[in-house]
Structure 1
Amino acid sequence: MKFAHLYSLLFVSIFFNCCGQKRTEPHRDNINYAIKDTVTAYGPNRMVRNVKQGRNGTILIASSFAGVFRYDGKSFTNLTSKIGPRRYWNVLEDRRGYLWLATTDSGVYQYNGKSFRHFTMREGLASNRVFSIYEDRAGNIWFGTGEGASRYDGKSFKNLTTNDGLSNNSIHTILEDRTGKLWFGTGGDACVYDGKAFTVIRNKEGKAFYNVWSIIEDRKGNIWFGASIIEDRKDHRLSVSPGLWRYDGSSFTKVTNRGASAVMEDKKGNIWTTGSLNPNGVGDWALSRYDQMSLYNKTLTVTEIMSIKRMLCGILEADDGSVWFGSMNGVYRYDGKIITDFRSKVYQK
């Protein structure tokens, strides 16, 4: 347990909240449709925050300032060449085949394969700083923003903020569990929404979780997430203990003290994480795999797939079983034997 700085950028904003519904046609941007998509054999060399599965086995990659890329197994296509540089953070392909591109400076873009629609606070989005995108069972698209959660039903936005009972407005991740409840991981804690009220999740000592970036539900219905517990506060410094947690519906288990900024379950039931090996985020970050046969044992079987002195970000198990993960300097793929760095050789030096 070590002291970590409290950076205000990651936590609760104190600005105006756009609550309720607002139905407005998206405004038109200076999107240059005359520009052709950039196609290259190499992936981005900038920070890759998230990697998602697209249709027909394609891989979608959100890279800050570099763009949102689609990999078809042979080449990378920058889908945002017509838009230009933005702080791209996340990407989602919905059930209709529409792509949603989240930025932390310009709201979200919807792409139907031919043209873009741009949604910002003008159209009712809670904030132009968007971290997460999630499609629920009803087909609504949820956005986790720096000023609350926004739900888009195809016509208008409905926003949930602290004014509605949300515990913290900085929403990092959203999950709908098998019971229909919504889980929100925030810069302050984790909470559950049953459609009427929000409940802040606490461990058995009664302490709320802190700085939750990823939440998943495994095949058994357990909820997994990486988060810290605040042990002490001194001025603007926090003493925190990070870890990977599992919730079985009644109690929480701290599975490991390793940091877990991203969490994933693969097809075999193994749990994968990316996270810092140091509580303050300095030093080595690792891609780790926790063997499913040991998840409920006192001693875990963990395999450290890769360790690097730079931040590692989102994880994806692709349709072919390979594991993709983002980093501060690009995207990697692990096929079970070899880790492939998709940057050009110039940047790999």
Structure 2
Amino acid sequence: MSETHGIHTVDTGFHRADFDAAYLMVEDGRAAFIDTGTTHSVPRLLAALAATGLQPEDADWVIVTHVHLDHAGGAGALMQALPHARLLVHPRGERHMVDPSALIAGASAVYGADEVARAYGSIAPVPKERVVTSHDGMTVQLAGRTLTVFDTPGHARHHHCIWDERSRSVFTGDTFGLSYREFDTARGPWLLPTTTPVQFDPAALKASVQRLLSQAPESMYLTHYGRVQGVAALGAMLLEQIDELVQLATPLRDAPDRHAQLKQALSATYLRRVRAHGCTLADEEVLRLLANDIELNAQGIGVWLEGGKR
């Protein structure tokens, strides 16, 4: 568990090491969690809190960037363990935290019911009276430390990011893409946009990324995975790739084998880009590490091409 500015990165253990992060912020003896991983992650989060010398009673906030299960699936179980905490969620996500049945059904449609049960565990509801809904520009306090909410659609319509003035950093959820440490080179991190089903909107995503960049942050705290710096260059990389996704996908709108062609096009794009970044991993290893993202990104682009019908 690494730490800077009172921010602790916690590996949730989802899928593989260094894949899914939650963040524990500690300020003057009070704590906040930002994203939670899955229900299986909760013991790791509580252990991280204990490692700072704090107790469950010392946690004031659980903040989820959006309600996809790798970010918020553990929120209900974590709230059960934190007696005084409130849950901060985008207003479009509130109903899914209070009653996760539709969320579970949606994830089951993408992954299959057995995989949802295996990977995410039992999804606990959060009592409505403990839920606080956000709005753009809203601030919350952690022992006097101000956290500001930015509404950031594009990956999902129920997505917000958290600006921490103290560290001049943003907790980005999935808005600022994915950056796995296996692809770090002498040039720094490499990242890619995530277009998972079902609300990918490239124009909105670009606007959200540009808004985050306008804060001139020193760091971005990505759920997938960890703290990255060199933010301006990474932002340019991300915006360029969003445009490229639109360009490669649009001609495939009516292709009978569209999903297979999208996966093939994404695979070729990622291989080309990691090679240009100086990555020396074998092609097979690159594609293995990105296999889940290739599948889900292709699904999400397909929904966007259909006009978001699902």
- What is the TM-score of this pair, normalised by structure 1? 0.27
Which of 1 and 2 has greater Rg?
1
